[in-house]
Amino acid sequence: MKVTLIKAPWWVRYCPPYILGYFAALLRREGHCVEVLDLNNIIYNSIDPEYRKYWDDRDYYSLWENPSFCWDILGNPRIKPVLDKIVNGGSGVVCFTTHTTNIPISLVLAGLIKENDRKRVTVFMGHKCSRAQMAYDLAADERVDYVCPGEADISLPRLLAKLNGRAERDNLPEAGGFLMKKSGRIIDRGDPEAAGDLDALPFPDYSDFAEDIKGRTYSQPRRLDILDSRGCVNACHFCYERLYWQRYRSMSGKRIFEQITAHMNAYAGIDFFYFNGLLLNGDLSVLEQFCDLVTGNDVRVRWEGQAAVRKDMKPGLLRKMKRAGCEALYFGIESGSQKVLESMNKNFRIKDAVRVLKDAHKAGIRIQINMMFGFPGETRREFEESLAFLVKVRPYIDSILASQSFCTLEKNTYLRKNPEKYGITDSRHHLYWEAAGGGNNYEERFARYEEFCALALSLGIPETSGILRKKPDKWLLLGDYHVYKEEYEKAAECYAQSVAEETANRAVYVKLARAYAVARDYGRAEKAYSEALKFEAGRFAADLSDEKICSELERMRSSP
């Protein structure tokens, strides 16, 4: 049958998405006709140039969750041919691959498909579909027929075999490894079966992107991605990604080498690969075998990926990795406090982290460290240990990925399930949780993040990957936090700062008006609503319709 694979905006557009290429190969091997649409890159290259900063600057990610902003993107006249192709397409099944920031637009597109033809089946898969994330929320949505809460390699082909030839959307079959709706309730057919031998899986089929590769339409035109492993050898208490993969598995070094050389031979100019597993050094024997094959066959390739701090990662291996083309490693350090690392269940000592970073630097490998802020139990003293750690390792690192959500409580993680062990007093919200009697709250974590950024910038760390002089959505985020806390006067102050200093759009003005109205400042509320009405709502922003704005303001004014 004909299947369309879609990746909706937003995400960075380094290269053709691995997930689309892989499932194209997998389903074609099963005999299906597959259409591949990387809408993230298609829309970027189609839209007016002034919009492209929202892709190129990764720090605008929160805007993509704003319905008004999504309408700005999808309602743009240049995008109409793209939408028409999706809505009027001939595929019986449309599969959306998901991550945090592309859920809103993916759901809008699924809704448009259903409006045009209810018989077409929509399938959502990817990390955001895990039970630790949005599996049940998506399964409850009328625009979504099936949700795969884990690896779809085995379950998706089986589902397609059941769907082949069926046209009755109201009588869709149940399928193992999927959530679906039936008679108004969600049916959960369990976890999908996970692939065992990664060497038996097909190489991604990037033939749909041949013209993009040739035309250099991606931001890193010499790059392709490879999923070298699945899962993680560690079990950090805050991590939800390892829950998605169930257990750790790796390709052999030989298979990784064969895949990379096959892609290099197929596409002229490709010589850079990103290992997008959770860590590329989960099995050091695999990593060493791959390096030996590269150097032994004199293959000129560049590669990089995430890595864990490992005591047994010796200088000799790091030098071998460099000779084999390793250009950069990204280490999940998260904290410079040994006490906090132990609370996180991080499997390394600070002294080992310093040694590995130093050895990798000496080997000529670029280093980035990932950092979190305000982990429950992190006092001011422990935070200052992170600051001191940064100063100590500055000579060995090139950049920092600073978490812009600081520290979140993700569903089904050990941290979320055991709040009392961490002194968490309010765990209702994944961002706005509180610990230490309220001393560790969202505002405090924000302040620690900003202090860390200021120190990093003073040490010459580049302003990128979350290290910012000022977050472009700071006041919007703080406004949302104060609404959660029912501190509406403070929320209004933050939203007013947002429209003055950040992005003024319909959704922010509506938030400002509501905050003023709840605080009974009706004059300012009406003024903010009048500003909101100057922006076109669009069909995808029904919650911001003129009628609803007026009725809500009237209700607030008449409430006791």
A 10 A CB-CB count for 460 gives 7
Encoding tokens for residue 294? 């590269």
Residue type, position 553, single letter: L
**Which of the four pLDDT bands, split at 50, 70 and 90, describes residue 134?**
very high
pLDDT at 124 over 90: yes
Sequence length of the chain is: 560
Q: How far apart are CA 445 and CA 198, in angstroms?
A: 40
Encoding tokens for residue 165? 């030839």
Q: Write out the E strands in 114-231.
A: 121-126, 146-147, 179-182, 185-188, 223-226, 229-230
State the alpha helices, DSSP H only, in 267-329: 284-296, 315-323
Q: Average pLDDT, stretch 513-531? A: 91
The architecture that CATH gives domain 480-558 is: Alpha Horseshoe (1.25)
**Which of the four pLDDT bands, split at 50, 70 and 90, describes residue 11?**
confident
242 against 226, higher pLDDT: 226
Write the pLDDT tens digit of every residue in 393-419: 999 999 999 999 999 999 889 999 999
A 10 A CB-CB count for 439 gives 12
Write the pLDDT tens digit of every residue in 449-483: 999 999 999 999 999 878 999 998 999 999 999 99
A 10 A CB-CB count for 432 gives 19
The least confident of 62-66, 419-423, 472-476 is 62-66
Write the pLDDT tens digit of every residue in 321-351: 999 999 999 999 999 999 999 999 999 999 9
Residue type, position 187, single letter: I
Tell me which CATH code domain 222-472 carries. Answer: 3.20.20.70
A 10 A CB-CB count for 264 gives 18
Write the pLDDT tens digit of every residue in 168-220: 556 899 999 999 999 889 999 999 999 999 999 999 999 999 999 999 999 99
* Structure confidence at residue 538 (pLDDT): 53
Phi-psi region of 364 (alpha: psi -120 to 50; beta: other; left: phi over 0): left
Mean pLDDT of the chain: 92
**DSSP letters of 218-257?**
SSSTTEEEE--EES-SS--TT-SHHHHH-S-EE--HHHHH
- Three-state SS annotation for 344-407: HCCCCCHHHHHHHHHHHHHCCCEEEEEECCCCCCCCHHHHHHHHHHHHHHHHHCCEEEECCCCC
- Three-state SS annotation for 28-79: HHCCCEEEEEEHHHHHHHHCCHHHCHHHHCHHHHHHHHCHHHHHHHHCCHHH
Write the pLDDT tens digit of every residue in 248-294: 999 999 999 999 999 999 999 999 999 999 999 999 999 999 999 99
Q: How far apart are CA 356 and CA 71, in angstroms?
A: 47
Phi, psi of 224 (to 5 degrees): -135, 160
Domain extents in the chain:
2-188, 222-472, 480-558
